[in-house]
């Protein structure tokens, strides 16, 4: 039995792969991972940019699409390519989706990052992708911005699965859970819909550690590499409170499932830290951890498994209190991380469209030469 399977059967946590490309879904790699216990796939513009830019994996498909429509623009090409990958991945995961009673087996696809502050635009884009992919185990990624929150409520109410992404603060997480509950109340068949709330981890340590490095003293040094985990554990305690509340119990009786916390950005950026730090430290029931291939391999190779989310003994709150006493405002940090996250995904999206424009130009030249 692989560690991925044991993680789920023994600890109640689903491990998802934070990567997708055409080779993975066509040549059997994803099937092998699913057989080994991987239970879902997530994607974003940065991942697709990496997949499409490396080598000529998508070139033949681009030529075929342009042969069908020589005037096709880069955003349409991007949508066609990503939808094809997501559809194939969703088909591979379909049996897991059915056998898990619609709890796992999902593939996530993101709306344009440029819609992060546009509620109606997000809703319309999500509906469009939902119809285009036409797979019940699709999850639409919606950012947890102020504009994204009401979009989550609407989409859940309509039965569209949502991966609420770019979550950094527990305060915003409270708003996300509220939106999910309101959406469930509007949904005539809440058992048919699923959602995860993607709480970003390592990026918090990246910014907080920089601030701590500017301070003198052993206390500041002792908090390095601890705040992201403390923040995630506090979010998990909020999750347990909210989904044991009377408001959710009413929806549970109607067949609703919890909106699981998903630990995202779990690769270790600091080489001084253990490469599976953010996997080992956040193991607990009713959660998901989505990891890139390198972290997946590292965890399978030397990761240690034990229930860590619920064996905290109040240390998370102590660490967060100590951070505040040092004058570092975590709320300001998470607000900046949200802004930066939106910009980074938008930049990746724009870079991908520019890449596709270059490929369109190359194919056009080939046609012109005959």
Closest CA to 12 of 332, 305, 351: 305
Active site residue 240: no
Tokens found for residue 13: 């946590």
User: Distance between CA atoms of 264 and 243, rounded to whole angstroms?
Assistant: 21
User: Distance between CA atoms of 343 and 218, rounded to whole angstroms?
Assistant: 35
Q: Which residue in 141, 240, 359, 365 is the catalytic one?
A: 141
Element (H, E) at 170: helix 170-186
State residue 203 phi and psi, 5-degree precision. -65, -30
Element (H, E) at 318: helix 315-325
DSSP for 81-96, written as a single string: HHHHHHHHHHHHHHHH
Rg (CA), the chain: 21
- Are 205 and 323 spatial neighbours (Cβ–Cβ below 8 Å)? no
| Residues forming the active site | 141
């Amino acid at each position: 039995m692989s560690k991925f399977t044991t993680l789920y059967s023994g600890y109640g946590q689903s491990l998802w792969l934070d990567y997708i490309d055409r080779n993975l879904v066509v040549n059997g790699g994803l099937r092998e991972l699913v057989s080994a216990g991987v239970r879902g796939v997530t994607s974003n513009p940065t991942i697709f940019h990496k997949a499409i830019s490396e080598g000529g994996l998508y070139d033949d498909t681009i030529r075929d699409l342009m042969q069908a429509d020589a005037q096709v623009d880069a955003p349409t090409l991007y949508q066609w390519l990503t939808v094809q990958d997501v559809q194939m991945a969703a088909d591979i995961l379909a049996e897991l989706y059915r056998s898990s009673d619609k709890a796992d087996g999902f593939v996530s696809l993101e709306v344009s990052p440029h819609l992060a502050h546009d509620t109606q635009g997000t809703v319309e884009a999500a509906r469009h992708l939902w119809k285009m992919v036409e797979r019940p185990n699709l999850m639409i990624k919606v950012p947890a911005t102020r504009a994204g929150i009401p979009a989550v409520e609407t989409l859940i109410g309509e039965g569209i699965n949502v991966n609420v992404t770019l979550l950094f603060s527990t305060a915003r997480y409270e708003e996300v859970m509220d939106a999910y509950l309101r959406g469930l109340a509007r949904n005539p068949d809440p058992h048919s819909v699923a959602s995860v709330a993607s709480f970003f981890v390592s990026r918090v340590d990246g910014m907080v550690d920089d601030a701590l490095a500017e301070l003198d003293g052993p206390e500041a040094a002792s908090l390095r590499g601890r705040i992201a985990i403390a923040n995630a554990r506090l979010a998990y305690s909020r999750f347990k409170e909210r989904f044991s509340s009377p408001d959710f119990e009413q929806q549970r009786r109607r067949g609703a499932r919890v909106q699981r916390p998903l630990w995202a950005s779990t690769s270790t950026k600091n080489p001084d830290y253990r490469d599976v730090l953010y996997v080992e430290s956040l193991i607990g029931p009713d959660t998901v951890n989505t990891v890139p291939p390198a972290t997946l391999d590292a965890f399978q190779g030397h990761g240690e498994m034990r229930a860590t989310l619920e064996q905290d003994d109040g240390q998370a709150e102590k660490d967060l209190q100590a951070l505040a006493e040092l004058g570092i405002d975590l709320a300001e940090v998470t607000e900046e991380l949200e802004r930066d996250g939106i910009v980074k995904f938008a930049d990746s999206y724009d870079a991908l469209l520019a890449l596709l424009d270059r490929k369109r130009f190359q194919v056009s030249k080939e046609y012109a030469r005959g």
